[in-house]
A = this chain, B = another copy of it.
C-alpha cells in the first residue's frame, strides 16, 4: 500500500514535470493566447483530462508554471551590510519583474481566478528573501527588519507600477524608495519595539 503510494507520488511528480516543461516550451514558441490545454497535453504525452483534473483549467496551470519559475534558486546576495543587501535585492527584483518575461509571469500568477495559492506563494518568496536578509542583520548584532513594512514601502510600489504600467521602475526610482525608508532607525525600531 505504501509502495503503491510512493509509485503514485513518483508518477505524479513526473506528470507535473512533463506538463510544466511542455507549457514552458509552448509559451516560448507561440503567443500565450494561442496555447491550449489539448496542445500542452499532446506535447507532455498525457490526456487533457489529466491536466483538467490536476490543475482545473489553463489559467491555473499557467499560474502554477509561473510560480515555479519565480521560485528563487538561491539566497539573496550577501553584500556585507543590511542596507547593501536590501538595495541589491530590490534593484534585482525591479529589473527581473519589469522585464517582458517577469511581467508575463506576474500576470499569470495573478490572473488565475479565485485560487489564491499561487499569488500568495509568489509573495512569500519575496518575504522569505527579506527575512533572510533580516536574519543576517541579527547575526551581525543589528535589530531585525520589519519585513511587512519593507514589502509595503519597497516591493508593493514596484509591483504596482509594473502591473499598471504607469511608470518605469528604474534603478533611480528604486533608490528613491530605498532612501525614503530609514533602515537605520524607524523600521528597525518598530520591529524591535
Contact = CB atoms under 8 A, between A and B. Distances in A.
A113 B155 CA distance: 22
Interface stretch (A7-15, A20-28, A134-142, A159-167): A159-167
B113 A163 contact: no
A111 B107 CA distance: 5
Q: Which of A111, A116, A163 has the most CB of B within 10 A?
A: A163
A177 to B, nearest CB: 7
Contacts of A163: 110, 119, 159, 163
Contact of A119 (B116, B120, B165): B165
Contacts of A160: 123, 151-152, 155-156, 159-160
Nearest to A106: B110
Nearest to A167: B148
* Contact residues of A: prevailing secondary structure: helix
A193 B126 CA distance: 35
Contact of A164 (B32, B119, B148): B119
Interface of A: 32-33, 57, 59, 107, 110-111, 113, 116, 119-120, 122-124, 127, 148, 151-153, 155-157, 159-161, 163-167, 177
The 5 closest A-B pairs by CB, nearest first: A111-B111, A156-B160, A116-B165, A123-B164, A152-B157
21 contacts: A33-B57, A33-B59, A107-B113, A110-B110, A116-B165, A119-B163, A119-B164, A119-B166, A123-B160, A123-B164, A123-B166, A148-B167, A151-B160, A152-B156, A152-B177, A153-B153, A155-B160, A156-B160, A157-B157, A159-B160, A159-B163
